[in-house]
Amino acid sequence: MITVEEHLSRILGTVRPLPVREVPLLESRGTLLAADVTATLAVPPFDNSAMDGFAVRCADVEHASAERPVTLTVIGDIPAGARELPAVAAGEAARIMTGAPMPPGADGVVKVEDTDQAAGPAGGRELPSAVRIVAPARERIRRRGEDLDPGDPVLRAGIFIGPRAIAAAASTGHAVLPVRPRPRVGVLATGDELTDPGLTPGPGQIPDSNSVLLLSLLEVLGATPVPMGRVGDEPAELQSLLSTRLGEIDALITTGGVSAGTYDVVKEVLSERGGVEFVAVAMQPGKPQGFGELSDGERTVPIFCLPGNPVSVFVSVMVLVTPALEVLSGWTDGGPPEPFLVDAVAAEGWRCPPGRRQYLPVTLEIPEAGDAADEVGRDVGEELLRVRPVSGSGSHLVASLARAEALAVIESDVEQIEPGDAVRVMMVP
């Protein structure tokens, strides 16, 4: 058996960041920006009104009040998006909407509430010939370039692109962004016993939960899942799929068929084809693992051959695949990952497999105020989370995996956790 770190360092020594690509704005969310972005448009792009009202010359209405209103001739209408702008001379006003370009001649805006006109659609669309102004105009103008000018920096290389960065890119003239693209990860389940979820399984059959687990998990992890279906235990099926579909993906995950069974098809086909090493990793669950590179002559992609048991699949993705996805996405440089482990305390005891690091699905409980003792009365501190196994440690217990909030990570030299023992947990999606 090799350690988790040994297996992981082989994986991380193999995968490389995907090449930079320009992608449409909506595809860029959650990826890493690969180059600085500068503005090609100013924000705002032109001087425009901050209010619905009337564009005027400030001097004309300087002394306007309810008692001494000023009447101006209305010479035009400027809705948002207007292309032709009337010039405003002394004694004149142009009706203007929020976001509409300021007309030449005007240097201020009187909001509609400070006039004799009804606000909103209730006043009708017809343009009045004159308007009575009851308050001075203010400089309610949003100036061109107030936020930034063309050529100014907008987004720095290396940021994670989120909705606000996407809006900033759109406003400054960009429809695409240079990013480290999301890895496209193929998912392939193997096994003659698998059926579609929702069908009544025949004798010896079980629903294929690994495909939907992986496809949805990859989405959560920021990758693009690519369903590659299922193959049975017949080598020819798997062989042909591996030769024809590598062009669609940047990495491949298979499940099942990697341990010691006679019909372990993944191991059979890939051992013969070469490039993939099958090893026993000192972890529980997830001991039998395959990893390597697949090539079809044109492309070479990393392949993870995970064991078939569903809890093993989940744990393998958390521990082995996630760091590799981070490298493919350009998020890390492939140095040893620092799993974020939270200090907690066991609320009950459980057994651990000797010689393998255990990743046990657990629930988390927040201790109540003043609750500093465990079930056998020892002091465990007030602030630590309490962890409780969701069920046993069997890697087939996929239904109770749904209740897990974290994985308790127990080192391989520990054989028993007692209530009150310090444990560390890895939060999971």
Ligand X SMILES: Nc1nc2c(c(=O)[nH]1)N[C@H]1C(S)=C(S)[C@@H](COP(=O)(O)OP(=O)(O)OC[C@H]3O[C@@H](n4cnc5c(N)ncnc54)[C@H](O)[C@@H]3O)O[C@H]1N2
Nearer to ligand MOO, 366 or 402 (CB): 402
Q: Enumerate residues 56-95 that contact ligand X by CB under 6 A.
A: none
Residue 210's binding partner out of ligand MOO, ligand X, none, with CB under 5 to 8 Å set by partner kind? ligand X
Does 260 sit near ligand X (CB under 6 A)?
Answer: yes
Number of residues that bind ligand X (CB under 6 A): 27
- Distance between CA atoms of residues 280 and 290, nearest Å: 9
Other Cβ atoms less than 10 A from the Cβ of 188: the count is 26
Nearer to ligand MOO, 284 or 412 (CB): 284
169 Rama class: left (phi>0) / alpha (psi -120 to 50) / beta: alpha
Is residue 52 within 8 A of residue 121, CB to CB? The reply is no
Does 316 sit near ligand X (CB under 6 A)?
Answer: no
Strands (E), 25-140: 32-33, 37-38, 48-49, 53-56, 70-78, 92-96, 108-111, 130-133
- Distance between CA atoms of residues 393 and 261, nearest Å: 22
Nearer to ligand MOO, 1 or 176 (CB): 1
Give backbone dihedrals phi and psi of 116, rounded to 5 degrees, phi first. Answer: -90, 10
Nearer to ligand X, 204 or 377 (CB): 204
Among 53, 108, 307, 334, binds ligand X (CB under 6 A): 307
Does 310 sit near ligand X (CB under 6 A)?
Answer: yes
Residue 264's binding partner out of ligand X, ligand MOO, none, with CB under 5 to 8 Å set by partner kind? ligand X
2 exposed, middle or buried (CB, 10 Å; 0-12, 13-18, 19+)?
Answer: middle
Q: Rule CB under 6 A: which residues touch ligand MOO?
A: 284-287, 307, 309, 312, 395
- Distance between CA atoms of residues 251 and 291, nearest Å: 11
Does 308 sit near ligand X (CB under 6 A)?
Answer: yes
Mask of contacts with ligand X, 197-216, x by CB under 6 A? ---------x-xxxx-----
- Distance between CA atoms of residues 366 and 397, nearest Å: 25
Is residue 29 within 8 A of residue 162, CB to CB? The reply is yes
CB of 284 to ligand X, least distance (A): 7
Q: Enumerate residues 266-295 that contact ligand X by CB under 6 A.
A: 285, 287-288
CB of 43 to ligand X, least distance (A): 50
Among 254, 309, 322, 329, binds ligand X (CB under 6 A): 309
Amino acid residing at 176: V
Three-class SS string for 266-320? Answer: HHHHHHHHCCEEEEEECEECCCEEEEEEEECCCCEEEEEEECCCHHHHHHHHHHH
Does 103 sit near ligand X (CB under 6 A)?
Answer: no
Nearer to ligand MOO, 312 or 412 (CB): 312
Amino acid residing at 145: G
CB of 287 to ligand X, least distance (A): 4
Helix or strand holding residue 238 (H, E): helix 235-244
CB of 219 to ligand MOO, least distance (A): 23
CB of 17 to ligand MOO, least distance (A): 30
Point out which residues bind ligand X (CB under 6 A): 189, 191, 193-194, 206, 208-211, 255-261, 264, 285, 287-288, 307-310, 312, 395-396
